[in-house]
Amino acid sequence: MSDAPANRLSDDLLRPLLQTSWRFYALVAFLGSIVLMGLGTWAYQMYNGFGVTGINNPIFWAVYVTNFVFWIGISHAGMVITAILRLVNAGWRRPVTRCAEAITVFALMIGALFPLIHLGRPWLFFWLIPYPSSRQIWPNFRSPLVWDFFAISTYLTGSVLFLGLPMIPDFALVRDRTTGWRRRIYGGLALGWTGTPKQWHRLESAMSIMAIAILPVAISVHTVVSFDFSMAPVPMWHSTIFGPYFVAGAIFSGIAGLLIVTAALRKFLHLEEYVHPVHIQNLGKLLLLMSLLWAYFLFVERLTVWYGNESAEIAVLRVTQKGSFAPLYWTMVVCNFVMPFSILSLKKLRTITGCVIASCGVLIGMWLERFLIVVPSLGHKYLPYTWGTYRPRPVEILITISTFAALVLLYTLFVKFVPIISIWELRAAEHPSPALLPAAAREQALGETQA
């Protein structure tokens, strides 16, 4: 491994900002049209009435709420990776920190959109905001949906900070390296950063505080999201396992998302020198760990329900495992456990490609898991006369697809305007490759810049 000169590092990592190919415009146009289609579909839904979805009596929550939970789950990528890894000073995190934090912010933004999309009267969503209103009532603070509002807005604020703070030195770098309008804009964004030790110290303190603070916020966010379900007396919702289960699942899907994004960026932005196979493989190992954890939670939940033999819960268990939802259920098990376990536990298969395949499987599996939490339980509550089925309709499918496109679009735009790998953090390690332990020791001197 040879040291890339510092300039080469900057050149490589700034290239996407300074050079734009037609492929970028094509991609943005393509993704943008899908996103516009999604917005148009939402407008169609608002205009024609919520009945254009597949929601019915008794299944009042389905794909939109699944998407909500799924995206909030994905958003845990950043928090976990960067906060936890930052806290334990795992050096190999450096190339992926900003990736992860960006995923967090965008996934949160998308996820937070879904509570609006799933409302019957979305133009009144602002009643969830606690402001002194002429109606002389506050939001109902006992409602988990209001907790959602606070939790998600707090997490979003924190994540934006957590993403934005480390970008300041990089913005300064770009400012210094460019001219014209770019210099002005990035100069503004750099907030007058000059790289003095005092500024470095402040930055590091802020980031340490955020790293610690964001952890409980993130855990609480998905716990609060899980409360949307566990606080309702619905069979197989009303369970104490939901908090930890959701958080574990969120981290699980977050890592998978991060892995895919990292691998994609590595390939499309030619960051092979900065994102090494071992980075992806380490993420893969984390993914394996979470897969085992997820499988443990699934097993514990299901064993308890089965053993407890409470008739309403057994009905739900039966319909997911043996009944009409069985194909989805077993697909989920394969995607979330069987496949990742097989691929990621064998070193030979734990290649970048292997990890990406496993991660794709996990994303599918985790989406299905959310769906299978929401829909079968609602369709099989306590009075069998009221049981029902659900099938998604085109509006729900189109909006779902458009959110994936939205994430990629946001990411594409982000990558165009911000260096995707934190240049100063890489430089601070002196070495793009985190594999060598001595480099880790040098991270103590995080405040020093290198020529």
Task: Give CA–CA dist 221/76, Å, rounded.
Answer: 9
Q: How many residues bind other proteins (CB under 8 A)?
A: 52
User: With respect to other proteins, which residue has the nearer C-beta, 24 or 150?
Assistant: 150
Near other proteins by CB under 8 A: residue from 69, 113, 146, 224: 146
Which phi and psi angles does 76 have, rounded to 5°? -75, -5
- Residue whose C-alpha is closest to residue 313's, from 244, 373, 402, 377: 377
Q: Which stretch binds other proteins (CB under 8 A): 46-54, 182-190, 294-302, 327-335?
A: 46-54
User: With respect to other proteins, which residue has the nearer C-beta, 53 or 220?
Assistant: 53
Tokens found for residue 218? 């993130």
CB 369 → other proteins: shortest distance, Å? 18
Compose the 310-329 pattern: x for residues touching other proteins by CB under 8 A, - for all others.
-x--xx--x-----------
Q: Are 111 and 71 in contact (CB under 8 A)?
A: yes
| Residue numbers 228-287 binding other proteins by CB under 8 A | 228, 231-234
Tell me the one-letter amino acid at 84.
I
Tell me the one-letter amino acid at 203.
L
Q: Is 32 in the site for other proteins (CB under 8 A)?
A: no
- Residue whose C-alpha is closest to residue 109's, from 414, 417, 407: 407
List C-alpha distances in Å: 339 to 58, 70, 360, 362: 34, 20, 10, 9
Task: Give CA–CA dist 15/292, Å, rounded.
Answer: 39
User: With respect to other proteins, which residue has the nearer C-beta, 232 or 441?
Assistant: 232
CB 299 → other proteins: shortest distance, Å? 19
Q: Is 307 in the site for other proteins (CB under 8 A)?
A: no
Task: Give CA–CA dist 208/190, Å, rounded.
Answer: 20
How many helices and strands, by DSSP H and E, does the chain display?
A: 19, 0
Compose the 382-421 pattern: x for residues touching other proteins by CB under 8 A, - for all others.
xxxxxxxx--------------------------------
Task: Give CA–CA dist 215/444, Å, rounded.
Answer: 22
Q: Is 131 in the site for other proteins (CB under 8 A)?
A: no
CB 239 → other proteins: shortest distance, Å? 15
Q: Which stretch binds other proteins (CB under 8 A): 99-107, 137-145, 176-184, 331-339?
A: 137-145
Tell me the one-letter amino acid at 287.
L
Compose the 102-121 pattern: x for residues touching other proteins by CB under 8 A, - for all others.
-------------x--xxxx
CB 375 → other proteins: shortest distance, Å? 11
Near other proteins by CB under 8 A: residue from 58, 164, 277, 392: 58
Near other proteins by CB under 8 A: residue from 50, 341, 404, 417: 50
- Residue whose C-alpha is closest to residue 425's, from 90, 107, 84, 77: 90
Q: Is 12 in the site for other proteins (CB under 8 A)?
A: no
Q: Which stretch binds other proteins (CB under 8 A): 16-24, 283-291, 354-362, 375-383?
A: 375-383
CB 220 → other proteins: shortest distance, Å? 18
Q: Is 381 in the site for other proteins (CB under 8 A)?
A: yes
Q: Which stretch binds other proteins (CB under 8 A): 134-142, 201-209, 260-268, 418-426?
A: 134-142
Q: Is 305 in the site for other proteins (CB under 8 A)?
A: no
Near other proteins by CB under 8 A: residue from 30, 44, 127, 341: 127
| Residue numbers 61-100 binding other proteins by CB under 8 A | 61
- What DSSP line would sit under 5-29, residue for residue? PHHHHHHHHHHHHH---HHHHHHHH
Q: Are 73 and 370 in contact (CB under 8 A)?
A: yes
- Residue whose C-alpha is closest to residue 431's, from 201, 200, 86, 91: 91
Tokens found for residue 391? 């099938």
List C-alpha distances in Å: 90 to 117, 169, 216: 39, 21, 20
List C-alpha distances in Å: 250 to 124, 245, 291: 29, 8, 11
CB 242 → other proteins: shortest distance, Å? 14
Tokens found for residue 215? 């952890």
CB 310 → other proteins: shortest distance, Å? 10
Near other proteins by CB under 8 A: residue from 21, 131, 137, 327: 137
List residues near other proteins by CB under 8 A. 48-51, 54-61, 115, 118-122, 124-125, 127-128, 135, 137, 139-140, 142-146, 149, 228, 231-234, 311, 314-315, 318, 378-379, 381-389
